[in-house]
Chain A
Amino acid sequence: MSEQTHVALNEVVRRFDGPPTVHALGPIDLVIRRGEFFSIVGPSGCGKSTLLDVLCGLVRPTSGSIQFEGRELRGEVPDGIGVVFQEDSSMPWLSVRQNVAFGLRTSGLPEREVRERVDHAVSFMGLAQFADHYPAQLSGGMRQRVCIARTLVLRPRLILLDEPFGALDQQTRLLMGDELLRLWRETGATVLLITHALDEAAMLSDRVGVMSARPGRFIDTVETGWLRDRDSRIVSDPKFGTLTARLWSSLREESLKAMGRAA
């Protein structure tokens, strides 16, 4: 296993017991390199969210293994992983500042350092004005930023995001994508983004993995070759169109399959 490998999945399969038994995921073989921005796209119901649960250790695979930083995950979330879920996970009873500080409650860090990190994360995510507001007073996009900030303070080495911008409008999504790239560059973390938006995946990532319909397996992995210093304006680059087209050609077949099932 090379030093560059951050996460490795080997023959990972996930089944749900029934009756009936549902074969949700796999077999998956995947290697994610340290510091890369990797996106996963796939038709609905292909098991993307299950893959995320498995990747961060929330769920044990039925068979196969996952290694994070060389150590196997055994149904527990290891130190160094941050997760931003699709649903709003901000805590309505805490202010923005308190939400962001939540992750550090168990860290044992001195209060001064906690405050520093929280202030930094809050201003990094553009929430300084609203630091003492409550989530109910914020928009959906801002609430997701709170969740991202809460993940940031822990200085994770791997950041997993499950369709974090799903509920936002297109323009906000593009801007949030830029935010995410800035975050990635400045923290040097490995980022794994799950999204259903092909353009988002094509624009933001170093590599994109395309999943098949359920049971989800990787049918294609596309290297984008973008420079590290990029933002949403690369949509004007002709390569962007080619990438998106290639992703769709791989994905279209699988999406039809998934839709046929739902009928």
Chain B
Amino acid sequence: MGGAAGAPPFNGMSDLALENALSRRTSRRRIRAFDAAVLALTMLGLWQAIGSWTNGVAVSPPLQTLVYLFGLLRTWMFWDHAAATLEAFLLAFALSALIGLALGLIFGVRRFAGEVAEPILAGFYTIPKVTLYPVVLLVFGLGMSAKVAFGVMHGLVPMTLFTLGAVRSLPPVLIRTARVLRLSPGRTMRWVLVPACLPAIVDGLRISFSLSLLGVLIGEMFSSQRGLGFLLVNGMAQHNVPLSTAVVTVIVAVAIAANTLMLRLGGRTARRPT
């Protein structure tokens, strides 16, 4: 999608023709910007409609939410909760990413182990992990460790699977080259495997990011007195609709922003010459 980077597709064309081709691309970009604006307005409109139609019982309308949000951002309470979520999330994400990366590399390189493990991991990915929450609560109790456990429970497996897939689709000649150069396993991983698999790893990080966040939020909903997830549930329990809507807005905005950022990053690593 979008204009391809690199040489223009019309070889041997006159300058005028090339100009025409480029102007067609800019006008396409303009159309896309217009469509995006229309979409954004439609979604806002829908939000407003639902908000006013339900008399603010389900959602509070956009403007009201925005006003409330600005007020909320100025309270110490909000940032306290946000910090709690951030702390748990960073820990969960780091654990998921590092352990997932390590496991993925091991399973990718050790083919047999990888083949044994992959369906098990893929199977774990498809089951409703919500049914395991009570177990996590029983094992970890309430509080931070349960939240982080939830996060890791969601974020670890995708990271492992993505990395595993990346290593498996590596051209074998790279590993042979590493062997010929007599690199130690650690160096093979650091100097050959990881750089070559980087685009897929970044993709895995992106998914793991979203899922670790999801896990932490769910954990907060069940087992914590602090954090944005708790704030959301609390808002619902107290029928404080502007609060819950505002929290949802913050979560959605952060999630999409982070995802878009990682998509861009991933795209750039993909194009970088190895």
Contacts and interface: CB of A to CB of B under 8 A. Distances in A.
Q: Do A and B come together as binding partners?
A: yes
A18 B11 contact: no
Interface string B12-36: 1110111011011000000000000
Given A18-B20, A19-B21, A20-B20, A262 B11 contact: yes
A214 B20 CA distance: 20
B21 A20 contact: yes
Interface string A144-169: 00000000000000000000000000
Nearest to A258: B12
B6 to A, nearest CB: 15
Contacts of B76: none
Interface size class of B (residues with CB under 8 A): 10 to 19
A261 B17 contact: no
B17 A262 contact: no
Contacts of A18: 17, 20-21, 24
Contact of A261 (B12, B16, B18, B24): B12
B10 interface: yes
Nearest to A214: B12
Nearest to B20: A19
B11 A19 contact: no
Interface size class of A (residues with CB under 8 A): under 10
A214 B10 CA distance: 13
Contacts of A261: 11-12
Contacts of B14: 20
Interface in B115-154: none
Contacts, number: 23
B17 A20 contact: yes
A18 B18 CA distance: 11
Interface in B221-236: none
A18 B16 CA distance: 12
A163 B24 CA distance: 33
A124 to B, nearest CB: 40
B12 A19 contact: no
Interface in A211-229: 214
B13 A20 contact: yes
Interface in A44-72: none
Contacts of A214: 12
A207 to B, nearest CB: 30
B12 A262 contact: yes
Interface in A80-124: none
A214 B12 CA distance: 10
A261 B16 CA distance: 16
Contacts of A19: 17, 20-21, 23-24
A114 B20 CA distance: 53
A22 B11 CA distance: 11
A21 to B, nearest CB: 8
Nearest to A18: B20
Interface in A1-52: 18-20, 22
A200 to B, nearest CB: 26
Nearest to A262: B11
Interface in A193-249: 214
Nearest to A257: B12
Contacts of B24: 18-19
Given A18-B21, A19-B20, 9 more contacts: A19-B17, A19-B23, A20-B13, A20-B16, A20-B18, A20-B21, A22-B10, A214-B12, A262-B11
17 contacts: A18-B17, A18-B20, A18-B21, A19-B21, A19-B23, A20-B10, A20-B14, A20-B16, A20-B17, A20-B18, A20-B21, A22-B10, A214-B12, A261-B11, A261-B12, A262-B11, A262-B12
Q: Considering the complex of A and B, which 9 residue pairs feature the smallest CB-CB distances, nearest first? A: A261-B12, A20-B17, A19-B20, A20-B20, A262-B11, A261-B11, A18-B20, A20-B13, A19-B24
